[in-house]
Structure 1
Amino acid sequence: MTSLSTPPPATGERTAGQDSTPRRSRRAAVAAAAGTAIEYYEFGVYGYLAVVIGPHFFPDDDPTASLLATLAVFGSAFLMRPLGGIVLGRLGDRMGRKPVLILTVVGMGTATAAVGLLPTAETVGVAAPIGLLLVRLAQGFFAGGEVTGSATYLAESAPPGRRGFFGAFTPVGVALGGGTAALVAGVLSTVLTEQQLQDFGWRIPFLLSLPLIAVALLARNRLEDSEAFLTTKEEDATAKAPLTEVLTRYRGPVLKVTLLAIGSNCGYWVGLIFMNIYLTSELGYPKSSTFWIMGGISFFVACLMPLFGGLSDTWGRKKVITIGFTGYAVLVVPAMLVMGVGSFPLAVLAMIVLALPMPIVQSVTYPTYAEQFPTRVRYTGLSFSFNIGTIIGGGLTPYLATWLIATTGNLLAPGFLLMGAAAMALLTLRTVPESSKLELT
């Protein structure tokens, strides 16, 4: 059987997964989740502590202006992701998945730690926000090849008929990274005073990325490159110009993955990360309690992801993803209304309900993305299209959500934003062929 991509596979190209062993697949799942967790730990920490970080780099009498500037720099990292995806994706399609996955985890972790060492505007003036911007751009570059490389490797390493289950471990890393970020922020806001958090406490979560690098490297050094890539390389079937081939032969898959990625990223960044800002800055709920709740929800979501990933192997990818995006569209506005009634227990319950579509969408879209491209250009095709979607769905949405509230005065505006993204993803999904039973090429 052929892949979902329109052109046929190269002659003699062996299908992925036929030489995979359960042990190799489990090792790949652990390594993929560990590296992706570092990426989303950093992005999560920045998002959770944006209110604290803002005045240090963008001092302003208007807290909203300071927060918007901080979120703008947050979004700048996403602008570098397509470039990182192009460069690192090309390396991954030419040299192999493993060396690039090691490079991305070291680059991401090092850049994250550098944030914790930056001088503030009080010390060096305008050089402080410039330094923060440069570090964020470096983070975005390496992030552009991290989660997509993980999704590529897992899709190619999974046993036949279980790509959904094993592919779900990429978003498991996303949830674990974000959950760890929330818990670290919760611990710091609990054990430190507000002044201590402002003085030095905000640096600690970024410096904690250093031991995380060691854990991820230990896991990834034990990997072997995927059988699919090795076979392609042995047959001299690797793409000479992966991006050119993607943009000329696979424009349809690029567009579909981009639009789906906008929806899934908007669900993650608005449905979880922005909701932290919404609950604390807009509704006035306590920071420390909110951090703990967000961390707990992230770990709960991570536990559900392999379940829904495995379910998509049986039910089909499109059916499961449809349930997830429909859940976002239906639940987000009612959940935000409940959050705003002034009861923290009810706000927690509403947040849990709003998070339910997340493991469904996240766990199944990642293997679906990988199934749209053949082995010879999978890393590049997935990295380019996913990262374009991430700019819009992830980089812009926290800023846009905050700006919409400040401009319109309507606290529900971010909910309508998520509803629109979910509707667009549902329409796109109608054009995507079912891929759960197809072999990779």
Structure 2
Amino acid sequence: MSELKKDETARVVRFRAIAGSVIGTALEWYDFFLYGTAAALVFNQLFFPKFDPLTGTLLAFASFAVGFVARPIGAIVFGNFGDRIGRKKVLVLTLVIMGVATMLIGLVPTYEVAGIWAPIALTVLRFIQGFGLGGEWGGAVLMSLEHGDPKRRGFAASWPQIGVPLGLLMANGILALMFLVTSPADFLAWGWRIPFLLSALLVGVGLWIRFRVTESPEFEELAASGKQAKMPIIEVLRTQKRELLISTGSRIGTDVAFYIYVLFVVTYLTQMVGVSQSVALLAVLVSAGVMVVLIPLFGSLSDRVGRRPVYLAGALGALIWVFAFFPLLGTGNTLLILLADVVGMTCWAAMYGPLAAFTTELFPTRVRYSGASLGYQMAGILGGAFAPIIAVALYGQFGTWLPVAIYVSVMLLITIISVSIARETSKDLHGSMDKILAERA
């Protein structure tokens, strides 16, 4: 085969790997965010109706947090298989798990019909969602990074990251559409279920794409050598403790900022500021669109100037902006609300763009799936799982946004410290981390 033909084949394989990661991840995040937005808008009324609106929202967000608790469990289970049998097989399985759980949420009877079993069923399905997502992120990022150009790993690994805003766009877009085509009563009665039931169709598309993607070349090389870790997660906990703590700490503030900007903002605008649900959803949709463009740009920038400078700039920007964010929301002016959320999510994109490469490059190939997944998902518990709950509770206790802003800034400070003490990995050559660890051993 000529060199030109080889290059063309390599580009096709690389494109399929990235496309499969982006589309599959977008579908999984669609499932995950659909629940979060529905929790903010309708679940408090349908599944926790015996409480006042703020308490009902708090309980709905508590069921939302269950998904985060399940994610590290999924990271351990699927990370173990991903490091032993391959990335591709695990990604197919996680997509099926997420899709089935989401579809079933659309069929759960309300509290009025099933009583206490309604919120229990909702919470169990949310746990299954989180379990599936726990294994998704690491595999999708690794498929893109390990298929990609070693000199452009930040750019390659950032593509699955746009699955987050794409999933957010799809979830909020379909919910917004249902708002437009149904009356408030119909939306509450059955309209909210349609986006969940659509997950079955979307998963079919995602599976077709993922079956066409080849296995990661780095994993195939590792498998051919017979050097896969027998107990990947144990090896991570035994030999990669510092890297695990850094990967967890670096994402905590990122996660908190995200769920304040895209989830709590809906509750804050509709229940505390008093604007319409359509304005709140518009802010989230516009911000998500901006993220789709900015995430790969920041990922590419990290290949040129380093992961840490880009990451730290985003964290510092988010820490400062959060104190302007809530006053702008409080004006009730649509344009200022959009400005608040777009700038906030621009800072977040500067963190999230290089995050995938930054996190995965901390670990060697043989335990990369387990290490990167566990660090990422542990941060989800400490950060995103409780961010909406803590924000609602702080506002309910003090009646002002300032304690919420202070909470977000403290979490971002943890991220700044974690990234600051990490080594810069963007200039490492392909496989250098494995060689370094081999030399240490």
- TM-score, L = length of structure 2: 0.93
Aligned length: 424
- 2:372 alignment partner, one of 365, 368, 382: 382
For residues 77-96 of structure 1, what are the structure 2 equivalents within 5 Å? 77-96=67-86
- 2:148 alignment partner, one of 151, 155, 158: 158
**Do residues 228 (structure 1) and 218 (structure 2) align?**
yes
Render the CA deviation track for 1:407-435: whole Å, top value 9, x for unaligned.
12122332222211111111111111111
- 2:242 alignment partner, one of 252, 257, 268: 252
Q: Quote the offset at 1:87 in angstroms.
A: 0.7
- 2:182 alignment partner, one of 177, 192, 206: 192
**Do residues 237 (structure 1) and 232 (structure 2) align?**
no
Q: Quote the offset at 1:232 in angstroms.
A: 0.7
**Do residues 202 (structure 1) and 195 (structure 2) align?**
no
Q: Quote the offset at 1:24 in angstroms.
A: 2.0
Seen in structure 2, the aligned counterparts of structure 1 residues 63 and 79 have a Cα distance that, compared at 3 Å, is: same
Secondary structure of 1:383 counterpart: helix
Paired residues of 1:73 and 1:136 also in contact (CA < 8 A)? yes
| Equivalent in the alignment of 2:26 | 37
| Equivalent in the alignment of 2:438 | none
- Structure 1 unaligned segments of length 5 or more: list them: 1-17
Q: Output the CA distance in 1 between the equivalents of 2:237 and 2:350.
A: 30
Aligned residue identity for 1:41: Y
Q: Output the CA distance in 2 between the equivalents of 1:136 and 1:319.
A: 36
| Equivalent in the alignment of 1:146 | 136
Paired residues of 2:283 and 2:337 also in contact (CA < 8 A)? no
Aligned residue identity for 1:295: L
For residues 4-403 of structure 1, what are the structure 2 equivalents within 5 Å? 21-50=10-39, 51-403=41-393
RMSD of equivalent CA atoms = 1.5
Paired residues of 2:17 and 2:213 also in contact (CA < 8 A)? yes
Which of the two has greater helix per residue?
A: 2
Q: Output the CA distance in 1 between the equivalents of 2:282 and 2:269.
A: 13
**Do residues 424 (structure 1) and 414 (structure 2) align?**
yes
Paired residues of 1:163 and 1:313 also in contact (CA < 8 A)? yes
Q: Output the CA distance in 1 between the equivalents of 2:127 and 2:51.
A: 27
Render the CA deviation track for 1:132-151: whole Å, top value 9, x for unaligned.
11101111111110012111
Q: Quote the offset at 1:244 in angstroms.
A: 0.9
Paired residues of 2:18 and 2:143 also in contact (CA < 8 A)? no
- Which range is displaced more, 52-61 or 101-110? 52-61
Q: Output the CA distance in 2 between the equivalents of 1:384 and 1:131.
A: 26
Q: Output the CA distance in 2 between the equivalents of 1:107 and 1:261.
A: 25
Q: Output the CA distance in 1 between the equivalents of 2:401 and 2:108.
A: 34
Q: Output the CA distance in 1 between the equivalents of 2:68 and 2:9.
A: 34
Q: Output the CA distance in 1 between the equivalents of 2:150 and 2:332.
A: 50
Q: Output the CA distance in 1 between the equivalents of 2:344 and 2:12.
A: 35
Identity of aligned residues (%): 34
Q: Quote the offset at 1:19 in angstroms.
A: 12
Render the CA deviation track for 1:393-420: whole Å, top value 9, x for unaligned.
1111111111111112122332222211
Render the CA deviation track for 1:33-61: whole Å, top value 9, x for unaligned.
11111222122222222231222111124
Aligned residue identity for 1:238: Q
Q: Quote the offset at 1:20 in angstroms.
A: 9.4
- TM-score, L = length of structure 1: 0.93
Seen in structure 2, the aligned counterparts of structure 1 residues 357 and 74 have a Cα distance that, compared at 3 Å, is: same
Secondary structure of 1:162 counterpart: helix
| Equivalent in the alignment of 2:3 | none
- Which range is displaced more, 199-208 or 147-156? 147-156
Q: Quote the offset at 1:194 in angstroms.
A: 1.0
Aligned residue identity for 1:312: S
Aligned residue identity for 1:260: S
Q: Output the CA distance in 2 between the equivalents of 1:35 and 1:399.
A: 28
Q: Output the CA distance in 2 between the equivalents of 1:300 and 1:429.
A: 24
Aligned residue identity for 1:194: P
Q: Output the CA distance in 2 between the equivalents of 1:266 and 1:61.
A: 26
Render the CA deviation track for 1:233-283: whole Å, top value 9, x for unaligned.
111100001111000000010000011121221121112222122112221
Render the CA deviation track for 1:58-89: whole Å, top value 9, x for unaligned.
11241111111110000011111111111111
Structure 1: 4+ residue segments shifted above 3 A? none
More relative contact order, 1 or 2 (CA 8 Å, 6+ apart): 1
Q: Output the CA distance in 2 between the equivalents of 1:385 and 1:304.
A: 24
Paired residues of 1:155 and 1:371 also in contact (CA < 8 A)? no
